[in-house]
Amino acid sequence: MRLLVIEDDKHLSDTVCETTRDLFEAEQAFDGEEGLYMAEQNIYDVIILDIMMPYMDGYEVLGQLRQKGISTPVLILTAKDGIDDKIRGFKKGADDYLVKPFHREELLLRLEAILRRSVGGFKENTLLFKDLKLNLKSRGVHIGEETVLLNGKQIDLLEYLINNKNMILTKEQIFDRVWGMDSSTTNTVIEVYISNLRKKFKAFGYDKYIKTIRGMGYMLSENEDDHE
């Protein structure tokens, strides 16, 4: 799973990344403007957000994200411990609020709690879509009692589609999430992987749920009658 840490203290940011490395692949932003730009890509499972930062504070970053309809869970991590600060953070759309200094174990527990609420099935390491199950730990995929054999990037793509079911994902979002912004390949590879997923799912009748939204991107839709 992917984590974005928006924190101007590089040492603290590195500590958070190290603390969470067993759960997340973390990326870092060191000021509010950079953090907002990265968060707007909507490719992260959770965001850790500082309040006091250069160029744009965390409240403004969070407010703009929610105004743009980006619902990625956000944990505010800040030295501001006043009740008014906490109220303001929650009203802006924060999912949790942790005051510095913090215990590493508490940070991990709060992140796990956020993921259980937002993604579902985190404790069991399982994502569900109808009768399809994706085990995040074993990387196994099953539809009913049958095993679907997928390779690494196909599983990563499926995970992203399930986590954002019924939402249109652009090619740019999918590419940045699955292959990474620094990948040397191009986003034309997405068409190949979407086609391969459909072929793997066709025997189970699940190919019909992967929709191409022309001129926009792709969507894993629970409604098989949606038109492409």
Tokens 């504070």, residue located: 57
121 — pLDDT class (breaks 50, 70, 90):
very low
Q: Which range (56-65, 98-107, 123-132, 195-204) has the least confidence?
A: 123-132
In whole angstroms, what is the distance from residue 211 CA to residue 82 CA? 47
**Residue 203: CA atoms inside 13 Å, Cβ hemisphere, count?**
11
187 — pLDDT class (breaks 50, 70, 90):
confident
Q: 192 near 157, Cβ under 8 Å? A: no
Smallest CA-to-CA distance from 126 within 114, 113, 138, 111 is with 138
Q: What is the pLDDT of residue 225?
A: 65
138 — pLDDT class (breaks 50, 70, 90):
confident
In whole angstroms, what is the distance from residue 79 CA to residue 84 CA? 13
The model carries a pTM of 0.64
124 — pLDDT class (breaks 50, 70, 90):
low
Does pLDDT of 40 surpass 50? yes
Three-state SS at 27: strand
Does pLDDT of 75 surpass 90? yes
Q: 46 near 75, Cβ under 8 Å? A: yes
5 strand-pairing partners: 28, 48
Q: Which range (46-60, 63-77, 112-126) has the least confidence?
A: 112-126
